Each structure stands twice: as C-alpha cells, then as structure tokens.
Amino acid sequence: MCGCVAHTCAPPQYSILNTLTVMFHSHASAQIANVSLDGTSDTLTSVILDILQNPSSYGGVITSITCTLLYDIMNASPQSVATVHESGLGGAFTSILSSGCVAATPELIMAIPNVIAALSLTEASALKVAKANPFPSMLRIFYSPEYAMPRSRALQGDMAAIFGTGVDEVIRHVPSLRPLCIDALVGALKKIIAIGEELKADEQAADLANIRTSPTDPLINRRTAYLQYVSNFSQLLEQILNKAETATSFISKGGIDLLLDLYQYLLPTDRNFLSNLSCMSNFSIAHLAHFSPAQSLTLTLKSIAQFEAQTVIKAVTAGLNKQFSSLAAASKKLRNLPPSDPSSPSSSTFEVNAEGVLNDIPRVGLHLLPPGDASTSLIANYSLYLKNIAIVEWHCSVLSYIIRNVSMKSDASSFARIERWHKELTSNDFETVFKKIAALHRSTQLETCRVRTEESYREREEQR
C-alpha cells in the first residue's frame, strides 16, 4: 500500500483497530466476538499482515496499535499462535525489527516485548522465535541516534525500564530464550563501548586540530546521544538482571567488566572535559560519579550484586587496581617524568601520590592559554590525569555502595554467601587497593589545600 493511501485511511483504520484491541483485551470479549486467527478470519489476517509489511507507510501509531491487537488476540486465544506463524505474521513482525523499520513511537517500542512473549506462548512457537532471534535487533533501538535526543523523545521517562520489564517477562516465561537474550545484551554493551571509543577519538582529533565546538556541532549531538545510550541501557539492564539465574549468566559472559569499562566513555576528553569541570558551580565539592548516566550504571551493578556480591566486589577491586596503574602513568606524564624514571620510588603509594602534581599548571583560565603544541599537550595531560581521578572516584563510589547495600541485607539465612564476600574484603588485592585509595585521598587533600591557600586563589575563583 502506498503512503498516500495509508495516510488517507488512517483515521478509520485507527478507530477499527482500536475497537478490536479493546474487544480482544478481555478474554471474555474475545469469546463473545468469536473471531480469532485460526484460519476463519482471512480478512483480519491479511489486514494485519499488510500493516506489518509496510510499517513506514502506515506510521508508528497504526503499527503500534496493530501489534497491540496481535498480542491481545494471541493471549486471548493461544491456539491462534500457530496460525500467526504459519500466515507469516510472526515473520513480518520480526522483519520490522531486523530491517530497522521501528518508528520512534513510544507505543510501538513498548509493544515489542509483549509481541515477542505472545509469539513464544507454545514450545513450537518459541523455537521459531529463537530461530529468528529478535533480541539483537530490538536492543539496537537503545543505541541508535534516531531514538535519542536531540532527534527523538521516544525513550524519555521510564521507557527503558518498561521495555526491560517486558524483556524480563519474556525470558522468565520462556527460559529457552534466556541465552539468546544474554548474548544480545552483552553484544549491545560491546557496541555501545565501540561507539564511545569512536566518539572519544573524534573529540581528541577535533581538539588537536584546535576546532572549537558549538552547541550545533555534530560532536555535541553525538555526546548528548551517547549519554542517553548508557543511561537508557543501564535502566533496561537493571530490570532484566533482577533474577539470580539471569544475573549469573550475564556475569559469565563478562558483563560486569563491560559495565565497569563503560563509565570512562561518559566523560568528554581534553579541552571539553576541562571546560566541563570549570563550569561546575562549586568545583571543590563537585562529584562526577553522581550524574544521571553514572548513577544508572551504579544501580545496575547494585542489582547484580544482590546475587553475586563477591564477584562484583572482586571485579570492581580489579578495575580499581587497573585504573591506579593508568593514574600513575598519567601522573608521570603531567609531571614530565619518563615512564621508567629511576629516581621514582617503587612503593605503590607513591604511584598515586598527588602532592605537587599541579605545580606546572598555569594559574590562568583555560581560554587564556596561548595556542600551540605546548598548550595542547598540557591540556591533554591534565585532562587525562583528572579523568583518571574521576574514574577512580566512580569505582570507589560503586564499591562503597555495594558493600553498604549487601551489609544491610545480610541475615543468618545467607551466612555462606556473606562469608564469601567478607573474604574478598580481607584479600591481598583489596588491601593493596585500599592503601592506594587512602594514599590518593590524603595526597589530593593536601594538594587541594596547597593550591587553595595561594595568594591569588580567591581572586581566580571569583573570576571563574
């Protein structure tokens, strides 16, 4: 059907489909109507098939209400599920997902998990859904720019959480689909990280070329969209990973390490990062671990930790240890020390000692730095150091949040599990990391006090 005909017929189609949806939404009404997709209603089948095969022509609203009608029919009359697959309706729906023809309409996006659940009501139909594997395609919605701001508001509010609850219903009622879903979740996380790496490289290239971004710059739009990718996908994961078996499967696929790796890409690079810090209203008490996408990541890890506290604590500890190595390297670059300087003490606490790290930082505004390679290098090194500090801060925030949360929920009935994560806190790795955290905290406080007691500090702060 062509686009013009579809738009001309949209009002009566909407009314008719809406009426049928209301009828089939109640099992009793469906029995009274005596209409089902069992081969006796070819007209209804052909109408639904035509809409599902031409979603772009009919638009998101008509397609969404058609999907709602379809899963209401199957839920009211489970014997119709076989006919839905045999008539091609199931394949037409999964083709909408695989072809990327899902309109940026909240109602249509919310209907997707419900239709998948209805298409999997029987064992035979679940095998057909598994063969089609719609999960990678449906999750692509949450990291595609056409569904994110500034291009769309389709995923605003609680949309991601609602979608995640729907996916959780699917894998809870059809356990055979769980492995496919977990693989798709891990694959989507890897793609979001790849998008972050590409964005980071492009931002660094723009800074090296001394290109100043404006509010309408494509890089700004990509950064805005990326923050939404992480926030929305984290909310979706939080709803799906609220069962022990699902969380365990996700962990076995390396999901925790991917979540921990994701935070670094939430932060801009080089000059943009320093500008972001400079524009905070109270820089001395600001926290980069508590903005919305970071909090969403933290809540997702907390959701997993309620089942696998020891594993999460161990992963965060390993992540901190790795991050301290990056921080030590960034500190040496900022201090103009060679990576293997023989005069540098080898103690683990020196590697993260922040005392004197700001000695060579000019006491002028970022915009007043003279152009040239020296300034570009300084900005890159200073930004890298502060970014590593921010990543350490977030890891520490996650670790403390999880330990506090599992401690409050501990009881005698879970003694064996408590003993496991308690042992992790007494491990050599945790002790080493804790000493580095203490050393970093102490030295950053001393360095902050040193800078803030300089004679010109108050004047510079007022100017900022």
What confidence category does residue 6 fall into, taking pLDDT thresholds of 50, 70 and 90? very low
pLDDT at 73: 84
Q: Which amino acid is at 232?
A: N
Phi, psi of 267 (to 5 degrees): -95, 135
Would you say residue 300 has pLDDT above 80?
A: yes
What confidence category does residue 41 fall into, taking pLDDT thresholds of 50, 70 and 90? low
**Span 85-114, average pLDDT:** 93
Which region, left, alpha or beta, applies to residue 77 given φ > 0 means left and ψ of -120 to 50 means alpha? beta
Question: Does residue 78 have a cis bond before it (omega within 30 degrees)?
Answer: no
- Cα angle 128, 133, 135; round to 5: 135
Instruction: Kindly list the domain boundaries of the chain, sorted by start residue.
Output: 1-128, 133-274+284-307, 309-408+415-463
Greatest mean pLDDT among 3-12, 73-82, 160-169, 270-279: 160-169
Would you say residue 319 has pLDDT above 60?
A: yes
**pLDDT digits over 327-385, tens only?**
999 999 988 877 654 444 434 556 788 998 988 888 888 777 877 777 888 888 999 99
What confidence category does residue 296 fall into, taking pLDDT thresholds of 50, 70 and 90? very high
pLDDT at 24: 57
Distance of alpha carbon 348 from alpha carbon 13, whole angstroms: 70
E strands within 331-462? Answer: none
**pLDDT digits over 14-40, tens only?**
555 655 565 555 543 445 445 554 444
pLDDT at 388: 94
pLDDT at 344: 46
Q: Are the C-beta atoms of 307 and 242 separated by less than 8 Å?
A: no
